Structure 1
Amino acid sequence: MATISSSSKILIVGSGVFGISTALWLARSGYGDVTVLDMQDTANTAYDPSCGVDSASADLNKIIRFSYGSEIEYQRLATEASKMWDEWNREIEEASINELPERLRYGDRKLWWNAGMLRMSCESDLGDFEIATLENMEREGIREFQFIADDDIDISRARERGWAHKLDPCRRQERFGTHKAVLDSTAGFVYAHKSCAWAQHLAKRAGVEMILDPRRGKVIDITTTNNQPVVHTADGLQHTANIVVVAGGGWTPSLIPEVQGLLETTAGSVANVTIPKDRPDLWKRFAPEIQPVITWGSRQGKEVYSLPRDENGTFKIGWRKTKWTNFEDVREQRISVPRTAHVTDHKETRIPIDALNGIKEYISVNFPELVPLGITSTRLCWYTDSIDNSFVVDFVPGRPGVAVCSGGSGHGFKFLPILGREVVKILEGKGSQTVYGRMWRWRSSSDHTRNGLEEGEEGWRVLSRQTMASEADWSFKDQ
């Protein structure tokens, strides 16, 4: 562990959620020499995926939820983060146009939408995770904000509070005769790219320097000289620092090979449907005022989610039953690395046919009115999974001054406003004194099953083994 002081030179690799939140909180905590490096120009693109940015953080929207089963620590941290999301909304609403980053000066200026989240079961009863979540929320005194869709008392309470119209937006009770679900009225979503752009704006305002460039900001290696980390960038320069925090999302394992067995780069599958503005019936129906975030799951492994349409009419559906891997040669090792639409040498915009079929089933069953529209686009969303889905924030053993801040496992975005606060404590050596420092420490597992990381390149999730869906598969020909 390195000694850190207010004058320490700190380099952060990656400007996504983990990196930019860490930079913001370091600057706010009095550290005056903080620089963020990124090979993508997330400043001028404002993290907008339509501008060619590839990362899990550069997305249209992300779910904000507080349902964590028995993981009460994450539930509490998410609840605390929600207060900061509210504060960010207020700051943006009250700011003059000139005080905002350019991308927040037009369209929806609100980041966080309390649209609710409907946790919908494919089966005739609620699963164990749902029951554990409700029990935890009862103990925390927030069960009153959860509404079981077929419970008369909860339905009445939802009606009184103005949430009844979101209990069954897919009309499952009417169409199938049963509807098992819980509506969380505290949850919703955020505009992801705008949220990161706002966090970057705050970090710059606090004094953080940014090097966001495909050569000057691209880190190709991290070595050690005189017991200090040295960052090598693609322009041939070397940057010596006191602390280097690697928060590279799906690129983290290729920069820090020591995380093998603890972190693995994986991808979820995403598809979009464009809701046309000249269909006012659909435009209204899929608006966040009417449509909640929805998750659709079963014990048999269905795991699909959707979010309300955005201001441009994009209705996003994600399939997370399987998280794909992509192994390539990295420093004489076979490591799973991203294969994206824009940044990587090998480009990929397709998703496996199994994922597309799962998304099409979700649409056909729950939103048949969208079938004639078909799928508009697909992409793979690359991030890192940890062995237990908990984050990894700690100094790398045997690498003086080098810390890793990764392992979002698909649920990290909601913590953007607050994550860096806990990271700073860990960098200051206080990790053993905090619940999150202990949860996110460097660790290993002897379990036979380690969240898929035990499969390696022999596993069936490897992308090269999949049949990839083509654009011809986007239509619902048999519907």
Structure 2
Amino acid sequence: MPRLNPNSKILIVGSGVFGISTALWLARSGYRDVTVLDMQDTETAGYDPAVGIDSASADINKIIRFSYGEEIEYQRLATQAAGMWDEWNRQIVEESEDLPESLKKTDKLWWKSGFLRLSTTGELGEFELKTLRNMEREGIRDTQFRSDDTAERFGVHKAVLDSTAGFVEAYKSCAFALCLAKKAGVKFILHPMQGKVVSLDVTQEGKPAIKTADGLTHEGDLVVVAGGGWTPSLIPEADGLLETTAGSIATIQLPKDRPDLWERFAPENFPVVTWGMKEGKGIYSFPRDGNGVIKVGYRGTKWTNYDDVEGRRISVPKTEHVTEKKEKNLPLTSIAAIKEYISVNMPELAEFGISSTKLCWYTDSIDNSFVVDFVPGRPGLAIASGGSGHGFKFLPILGREVVKILEGNGNETVYGNMWRWRHSTTPKRNGLEEGEDGPRVLAKQKMSSEVDWSFLSGSSKL
């Protein structure tokens, strides 16, 4: 573990949530030589997925929730993050002259649209009941509205509405975080060759170093790998602790000549919705965005994609734009699940069909808790990863806890102990025990095409 000082040279691999939040908080903590490297020019593109940025952070929107079952530490951290999201909304309005090109004064990152958690049965699941007990313990149970009305408009399912939750506009939030980090003194190398890290090394002096695709070697006092779905390919030691998996995303475009639907699905009127997240359905949806796009996601199955990496077979991203082997379609299983959700819960959207699909590559840990620690046996090399599909909400505050760990104080904090490097011998390890022989491998799936986007199509039936 390196002893850091304000002049320590710190290199961060990845400009997504883990990387950019860590960089921002390092700079705010007085570190003057922090550089973020990324193979995608996220700054110029404003992280916008519509212009070809491939990462879990570069998304239309992400859920802000405080429902964590018995995991009250995450509930508390999410509550603290919400206060900082409020502050970021205020800063955009009051400091508009310093905004990146992708943002304007009228933009709003954090929307308290409410969060409706739907059960697929006539009873609330155990996770939901545990969440409500923790909400009561924290004195915020009155913000959760439980519906036991079998005639309510979402059908016969039990539900809880969290009036304090909602969503953030993800790519705009990352663009704002990068802007804050840059103003705080963080340097960036965002380039397909100069910013693409191909290997990690150690200098003759024993310092950590990275080699980029342009052939250069960058030496530092500390290297932090926060590469999202690309992290396991850079750190072999993470095998068995982390796995790259994909969630499924589809969008529906509302026509501009339907003001009734634009009004109904506006974030002021319509909540974020999850449907059977702990009961096998694994579906979530958002209100429309400013362009009339409604995003629906499926995480009931987390897909893997195994390939050769330096003599290893590991799961790696397979995206529409960045990776050598490309994929923009979803497995038919995902399409069928998304169509079922829309047909049951929002049937007025079925006539428009699906307008786009995308595989969103995350990094899952063995227990869905983050991994922020020094890599065993690799002096000066740290990892910040394992978002497991729920990391984005912590963007404004995550780096605060990461810095404590990097400074060697992880054992003194709740999150340092939660996120430490760990192993598991249990038979079930969040799917990581399956490996390439498992059923979630992308190459084993029947893939959809645009013909399956229509709700009139029968070809998406499995």
TM-score range, shorter chain: over 0.9
Deviation (angstroms), 1:426: 0.2
Counterpart residue number, 2:33 = 33
Deviations 1:349-398 (A, max 9, x none): 00100010000000000111111100000000001000000000000011
Length, aligned pairs only: 457
1:352 to 308, 331, 340: 331
Counterpart of 1:173 in 2: which secondary structure?
coil
Is the 8 Å Cα contact of residues 319 and 327 (structure 2) preserved in structure 1?
yes
Per mean C-alpha deviation after superposition, the further-off stretch among 71-80 and 276-285 is 276-285
What TM-score do you get using the length of structure 2 for normalisation?
Answer: 0.97
2:185 to 200, 207, 211: 207
Quote the Cα distance in structure 1 between the aligned partners of 2:347 and 2:151. 12
Is the 8 Å Cα contact of residues 451 and 457 (structure 2) preserved in structure 1?
no
Deviation (angstroms), 1:185: 0.6
Deviation (angstroms), 1:2: 1.6
Counterpart residue number, 2:209 = 230
Counterpart residue number, 2:111 = 113
CA shift in 2, pair 1:4/1:274, >3 Å = same
Counterpart residue number, 1:22 = 22
Please give the residue correspondences for 1:320-331 in structure 2 after superposition, counting only pairs within 5 Å: 320-331=299-310
Deviation (angstroms), 1:179: 3.6
CA shift in 2, pair 1:172/1:398, >3 Å = farther
Please give the residue correspondences for 1:17-416 in structure 2 after superposition, counting only pairs within 5 Å: 17-96=17-96, 98-105=97-104, 108-150=106-148, 173=152, 176=155, 178-225=156-203, 226-297=205-276, 300-416=279-395
Please give the residue correspondences for 1:422-433 in structure 2 after superposition, counting only pairs within 5 Å: 422-433=401-412
Deviation (angstroms), 1:6: 1.0
Counterpart residue number, 2:453 = 474
Quote the Cα distance in structure 1 between the aligned partners of 2:251 and 2:180. 30
Deviation (angstroms), 1:173: 2.7
Quote the Cα distance in structure 1 between the aligned partners of 2:111 and 2:153. 28
> Identity over the aligned pairs, expressed in percent?
68
Quote the Cα distance in structure 1 between the aligned partners of 2:291 and 2:385. 31
Deviation (angstroms), 1:186: 0.9
Quote the Cα distance in structure 2 between the aligned partners of 1:460 and 1:100. 45
Is the 8 Å Cα contact of residues 120 and 279 (structure 2) preserved in structure 1?
no
Deviation (angstroms), 1:119: 0.2
Deviation (angstroms), 1:174: 5.2
Please give the residue correspondences for 1:451-470 in structure 2 after superposition, counting only pairs within 5 Å: 451-470=430-449
Deviation (angstroms), 1:276: 1.4
Counterpart residue number, 2:427 = 448
Quote the Cα distance in structure 1 between the aligned partners of 2:25 and 2:430. 30
Quote the Cα distance in structure 2 between the aligned partners of 1:288 and 1:441. 37
Deviation (angstroms), 1:478: 5.8
**AA matched with 2:62:** K
Deviations 1:182-218 (A, max 9, x none): 0001100000000000000000000000000001000
Counterpart residue number, 1:439 = 418
Counterpart of 1:103 in 2: which secondary structure?
coil
Deviation (angstroms), 1:150: 2.4
Is the 8 Å Cα contact of residues 364 and 389 (structure 2) preserved in structure 1?
yes
Quote the Cα distance in structure 2 between the aligned partners of 1:262 and 1:34. 27
Deviations 1:217-269 (A, max 9, x none): 00000111221111100111000100000000000000111100000000000
Quote the Cα distance in structure 1 between the aligned partners of 2:77 and 2:174. 19
Counterpart of 2:320 in 1: which secondary structure?
coil
**AA matched with 1:67:** S
Quote the Cα distance in structure 1 between the aligned partners of 2:148 and 2:30. 52
Structure 2 unaligned blocks of 5 or more:
none
Tell me whether 1:3 sits opposite 2:3 in the alignment.
yes
Deviation (angstroms), 1:300: 4.7
Counterpart of 1:323 in 2: which secondary structure?
strand
Quote the Cα distance in structure 1 between the aligned partners of 2:45 and 2:153. 45
Quote the Cα distance in structure 2 between the aligned partners of 1:467 and 1:3. 51
**AA matched with 1:118:** L
Quote the Cα distance in structure 1 between the aligned partners of 2:325 and 2:41. 20
Quote the Cα distance in structure 1 between the aligned partners of 2:413 and 2:313. 35
Counterpart of 2:172 in 1: which secondary structure?
helix
Counterpart of 1:384 in 2: which secondary structure?
strand
Quote the Cα distance in structure 2 between the aligned partners of 1:409 and 1:314. 25
Is the 8 Å Cα contact of residues 12 and 23 (structure 1) preserved in structure 2?
yes
Quote the Cα distance in structure 1 between the aligned partners of 2:74 and 2:151. 31
Is the 8 Å Cα contact of residues 24 and 199 (structure 1) preserved in structure 2?
yes
Counterpart of 2:44 in 1: which secondary structure?
coil
Quote the Cα distance in structure 1 between the aligned partners of 2:315 and 2:445. 15
Is the 8 Å Cα contact of residues 172 and 179 (structure 1) preserved in structure 2?
no
Counterpart of 2:314 in 1: which secondary structure?
strand
**AA matched with 2:161:** L
**AA matched with 1:190:** V
Is the 8 Å Cα contact of residues 266 and 384 (structure 1) preserved in structure 2?
yes
**AA matched with 1:15:** S
Counterpart of 2:446 in 1: which secondary structure?
coil
CA shift in 2, pair 1:298/1:189, >3 Å = closer
